[in-house]
Amino acid sequence: MAALGMACAAAGCLAVAWWRTRRRWQSAVGERGWLLERERESASRSAVAAERDRIARELHDIVSHNVSLMVVQAGAAREVLGTMPDEAAAALRAVEDAGRGAMTDLRHLLGLLAPSQSGDDAAYEGGGEVDGPVELAPQPGLDRLGPLVDRISFAGLPVEVRISGEPCPLPQGIDVTAYRIVQEALTNALRHGDGGEAEVTVRYADHALRVEVLNTGPSVLTGTAATRTVPRHGEGTGRGLLGLRERVAVYGGDLDARRRLGGGYRVRARIPLDRP
């Protein structure tokens, strides 16, 4: 009887221990599931925020560049409308081309945000003047510097381009980032500069891509640059430079933008090419 009693007590202890262990395991599983759910929610919020930032940068790049060109060209057309009608007509054609380009880019972006049920790019019907369906195309890279420089030069800012090193194929993200750096710097020089000219240097090194954009302007040493505290077309929000720094930081690079003592502005970026 004593042995039977001890066996029953041992069995009871084992049952209690098993029950407690199972309760702890269920509690741990439930807590882990709650933590995983919280992590998924946090990751989803981070992804949404990152996508919003990316869309904001793309909208800024599209709208700021094209609208700046349109404002400059419209002002030039107004100045020479009565005396040089041919030049005024050319400027107005440039305004039209910039507007159509902006509408095409915006239709691409909005088509990606709100695709049709069939999945094509013709979902957004915003009443634009773009005729026919818009075909998807890769984002611009350094191979599109020529048309960009031509547009800026026609708008009134002469640009000289220098390529050093051996050009090599670049990852798509780095290629787009380098193009956006040049686009933003030249657009700012056109909007806020007082004449002068610009110089774009793209340097292919063994382990990094270097991009530098310089533009001339009033010198801070003479005091002429400090007399104008508000840019010609109003003060920007700074989203452009902030977006560029974020783009470059994604690839482990750095970007420096500052006013030059000799006059004008300098934007310089270094993007590693061998980062894993």
- pLDDT tens profile 228-276: 433 344 444 456 677 788 888 888 899 998 888 878 889 999 999 876 5
pLDDT tens for 51-95 read 667 666 777 666 777 777 787 778 878 887 888 888 888 888 888
What tokens appear for 211 in the block?
């991009």
What's the CA gap between 114 and 112, in Å, rounded?
6
What's the CA gap between 29 and 27, in Å, rounded?
5
Residue 198 has pLDDT above 60, yes or no: yes
DSSP annotation of 223: T
What's the CA gap between 245 and 209, in Å, rounded?
15
Q: Which of 29, 61, 55 is nearest to 181 (CA)?
A: 61
Q: Would you give the distance in Å from CA 152 to the centre of its chain?
A: 19
Can you state the angle between helices 2-80 and 172-192, rounded to 10 degrees?
Answer: 40
Q: Which residues on adjacent β-strands are paired with residue 201?
A: 162, 212
Q: How confident is the model over 198-211, as a mean pLDDT?
A: 92
